[in-house]
Structure 1
């Protein structure tokens, strides 16, 4: 069973997408080329590929969850510009092999690096990225570690139902203590630039529950026959913070762009 089993539809509908400013930074991270090639690792339902669909004309998006890829196919294929290529590949990052001679101008890994064998993947990408290409590892702050009062209350409800440890499907989440930039600096892509992009979001109880059901720590199947009780408790917790069903969030995307040393 995939860590994200049963979450794909929630992920597509309720996960915040990639802000335009972040897409612009990614677009500018690598030189123009023809064809211009993007490798999106841990593609999920295609949020990154969608944001960059008009900036790259040859895109390979990989994920090991077939349900996620099916949702991505349905969402992205109708939007694909004429003359562009999109391949959705069921594979882990560690096992992926691009077509012969194919090298990416940009690799994107969004909200997924913590699931990977990080050093191994970065070493493998050395053969999969063009000489002047870049690797971008980025994401926003997880709901689980956010410190706003309403999020803390919801997190406490999750803990009441599923235990104190953050879940990751049937197991628990393996926390990573080393900064990603430090890991990148030990890889072939050791020239690392960091960019932060602040984001403001508006939430409702519906979108909050939908977001939670898109995660590995609160996927619907984890609650079994207590799912309805969980929803009731979340609604009660949120009502203590805002009676008008309106919740705000200040977050940010931290983008780490790694390049090789000039040769």
Structure 2
């Protein structure tokens, strides 16, 4: 894709991300532990960690844990929530830095934002013998069929304010985010993937504030994109939500998660 990263990608979204995204289930950590036969030793690196949603879940399986993200706000929120973890504000392309060998490296809803061939090659060189990279395929800002949040109407409202082409930082994503991760990892010399499915489907009750936060947690609806119309957008968004649920509660049915393990 022709889009180029810039530091405004998630500008102003960090606090919303921590509140608006549905939490990762403990089953992810359990599945990773079992797939990698972990014994509590070694290092763990989460790249594109955001506010640490996955990092803090998996970190207890290791001697040391590091979360890396290019957004200063994300790192600030992560540090406040889990000061015992080593948080670094840096781009994935700047690795390996001084982080040393890792037993596990994860990408959760982040790999598509990077120079993927470059980063895949870098992380291959960071793994200790027997280590693995896990690509976490997940969507946590919205649920699947059975959810009551009016997501189609929310998307329509975003389009009214920002246009039909998806925004991302100072650029646009005319064709959406890039796919084809398997080919990237294979070309970098990884074997795999071993695919582990984490089944979900539970119903999570969400408040109006959490749904608003889930919208502002998106790169395509980051607060800065609305400029001086941000307050008007939030006012219209809340009215839309209240029209659907005057009591201010919604249900999201959690989506299953795919773990692709590369060695």
TM-score range, shorter chain: 0.7 to 0.9
Cross-structure match for 1:172: 172
Q: Would you say 1:9 and 2:15 are equivalent positions?
A: yes
Extract unaligned runs of 5+ from structure 1: 81-85
Shift in Å at residue 45 of structure 1? 1.1
Q: Would you say 1:49 and 2:51 are equivalent positions?
A: no
Alignment deviations for residues 52-73 of structure 1 (CA, whole Å, 9 cap, x no partner): 2311111121111222112111
Normalized against structure 2, the TM-score is what? 0.85
Cross-structure match for 1:153: 153
Shift in Å at residue 175 of structure 1? 2.4
Return the alpha-carbon distance in structure 2 between the equivalents of residues 161 and 123 of structure 1.
39
Tell me, yes or no, if the aligned pair for 2:39 and 2:61 is still in contact at 8 Å: no
Return the alpha-carbon distance in structure 1 between the equivalents of residues 251 and 57 of structure 2.
23
Return the alpha-carbon distance in structure 2 between the equivalents of residues 39 and 104 of structure 1.
7
Cross-structure match for 1:123: 121
Cross-structure match for 1:63: 69
Q: How big is the alpha-carbon RMSD for the aligned residues of Structure 1 and Structure 2?
A: 2.4
Tell me, yes or no, if the aligned pair for 1:36 and 1:57 is still in contact at 8 Å: yes
Return the alpha-carbon distance in structure 2 between the equivalents of residues 228 and 103 of structure 1.
46
Cross-structure match for 2:4: none
1:74 to 1:177, Cα distance in 2 relative to 1, 3 A = closer
Shift in Å at residue 25 of structure 1? 1.3
Tell me, yes or no, if the aligned pair for 1:195 and 1:254 is still in contact at 8 Å: yes
Extract unaligned runs of 5+ from structure 2: 1-6
Shift in Å at residue 17 of structure 1? 2.2
Counterpart selection for 1:256 from 232, 235, 260? 260
Q: Would you say 1:214 and 2:217 are equivalent positions?
A: yes
Shift in Å at residue 184 of structure 1? 2.5
Counterpart selection for 1:105 from 103, 125, 147? 103
Alignment deviations for residues 232-258 of structure 1 (CA, whole Å, 9 cap, x no partner): 322333345444333222322222111
Cross-structure match for 2:188: 187
Return the alpha-carbon distance in structure 2 between the equivalents of residues 144 and 115 of structure 1.
20
Tell me, yes or no, if the aligned pair for 1:41 and 1:93 is still in contact at 8 Å: yes
Return the alpha-carbon distance in structure 2 between the equivalents of residues 153 and 17 of structure 1.
24
1:34 to 1:108, Cα distance in 2 relative to 1, 3 A = same
Tell me, yes or no, if the aligned pair for 2:69 and 2:89 is still in contact at 8 Å: yes
